[in-house]
Amino acid sequence: MADLMKSLEIAEDELMRVNDKLADPAVASDHRRLAELGRRRRELDELVAAGKRVRELEREIADTRAIMEGDDDPAMKDLARGELEGLKVALDEAEQNFRLLLLPKDPNDERNVIVEVRAGTGGEESALFAADLLKMYQRYAERAGWRVDVMNSHPTGIGGFKEVIFGVEGRGAYSRLKYESGVHRVQRVPETESQGRIHTSAVTVAVLPEADEVEVAVAPEDIRVDVFRSTGPGGQGVNTTDSAVRITHVPTGVVATCQDERSQIKNRAKAMKILQARLLAKAQEEADAERADRRRSMVGTGDRSERIRTYNFPQSRVTDHRVALTLYRLHNVLDGDLDEIIDTLAAAESEKLLAAAE
C-alpha cells in the first residue's frame, strides 16, 4: 500500500509541474508541446483521482475499524462490520484500477489511425466481406463520435473492395482500434452459391497510428510522385483525368497511392498521410526488435487458417480467438457494436502487463 501512496505523491507533483508549464505563455505558442502537455494532464488527472479514491477508502476503513473497536453497542459493531466488508471490496477494486493506470501507456494510444483493409483468400466473397468490415468500422466510429475519411480504395464490380484504406480521426482511436489488426475470417453462403454451401474467406486488417508531420519529415528529394488515371467505379471526372497519385519514398521503397478524389491535390495530400503513417510504423518497428515484424504479424498471409476473429453467419456467431470470446449477435457486431470485444481484449492486455509488473 505504501508504494501506491508514493506513486500518488509522484503523480500529484507531476500534475502541479504540468499545470505550471501549461500556464507558461511560451508553451501556448507551441501547439505541439501544448497538445502533449494537455494529453499528459488528462492522464494525470485520471491517475490522481484514482489514487485519491484509494486513500479515501483507506481512511474510511480505518474509521470503521475504530468504531468496531471502541463502541460497546453490539448493533453498532454489526453495522460497522457490514460496512467494513463492503469497503474492503471497494478498496480492492480501487487499488486494481490505480495499478492499471500506473502501467506504461502505449505512446500511440491517443493518435488518429489509418486502417488498411484488404481482401485475402476467397476471391469475390472476400472482397464483399472487406466492404462489410468497412461499414462495421464506420458505424463503430460513428458511435464513438469519430470522423472517418476513405483515402484510397479498389472496388469490385459487385460492391466489394480488393483494398480500402481509411483514416479515423478522434481521441483514443488507436487505443481502441489497434486490437483489430489481423486476419478476419468469414463463414457464410455467398449469394452466388447455388448449392447453399458455406464458404470460408479471409480479410486482412492493419491499423497504423497516424504520424505527425513533425515526426516524419519527408524531404522532397526523397520522394517520386507519379500521376495516372483512376481505375474502377468513380463516375465522370474521376476516371477521365490524371487525378490519381502514387508517392514512392525512394530511400525505403515505401509506396502510397490515392485515387478516390477528383482533385489531384487532394489525392496527393491523402497519399502523403498514408505514406507518413507507413514510414512511422516502419521506424517504430526498426526501433524495437520485439516488433521488427509487427506489421507482418498483424496481417499474416491472408490465409484462412490464420485468424484473430471468425464471423459465422449460419450461427450468427462471432468468435475472437485471442481471448476465446464468443458472441451470438453477429449482426449487432457488424453494425458497429464492438465494445464488448475490444473491452475484453484491452482487459486481457492489462492483466498481462500487471502480471509482468509484479
Higher confidence at residue 353 or residue 302? 353
Q: Rounded to whole angstroms, how far apart are CA atoms 110 and 113? A: 9
Domain-wise residue ranges, the chain: 2-102, 109-358
The predicted structure's pLDDT at residue 295: 45
List the alpha helices (DSSP H) in the chain. Answer: 2-22, 25-28, 31-70, 74-102, 123-144, 173-177, 264-287, 294-299, 330-334, 339-357
Per cent of the chain over pLDDT 70 is: 89
DSSP one-letter string for 67-115: HHHH---HHHHHHHHHHHHHHHHHHHHHHHHHHHHHSPPPTTTTS-EEE
B/e letters for 236-254, b = 16+ CB within 10 Å, e = fewer, are eebbeeebbbbbbbeeeeb
Q: Which residue has the cell 502510397?
A: 256
The topology under which CATH files domain 2-102 is: Methane Monooxygenase Hydroxylase; Chain G, domain 1 (1.20.58)
**Whether pLDDT at 167 is above 90:** yes
The predicted structure's pLDDT at residue 194: 63
Amino acid at 16: M
Q: Give the single-character DSSP code of 15.
A: H
By C-alpha distance, which of 232, 101, 139, 253 is closest to 244? 232
Categorise residue 302: left if φ over 0, alpha if ψ from -120 to 50, beta otherwise.
left
Residues 6+ apart with CB under 8 A from 184: 129, 133, 202, 203, 204, 205, 307, 308, 309, 310, 311
Q: Rounded to whole angstroms, how far apart are CA atoms 325 and 303? A: 22
CATH number of 109-358: 3.30.70.1660
Task: Report the range of poorest mean pLDDT among 108-112, 239-243, 316-320.
Answer: 239-243
Chain-centre distance for alpha carbon 325: 18
Task: Report the range of poorest mean pLDDT among 17-31, 107-121, 164-178, 185-199.
Answer: 185-199
Q: Rounded to whole angstroms, how far apart are CA atoms 268 and 123? A: 30
- Note the pLDDT tens digit of each residue in 226-251: 998 776 554 444 455 678 999 999 99
* Three-class secondary structure of residue 330 per DSSP: helix
**Which of 82-86, 117-121, 352-356 has the largest mean confidence?**
117-121
For range 133-147, the mean pLDDT: 97
Per cent of the chain over pLDDT 90 is: 51
Look up the pTM and report it: 0.73
Q: What does pLDDT average to over the chain? A: 86
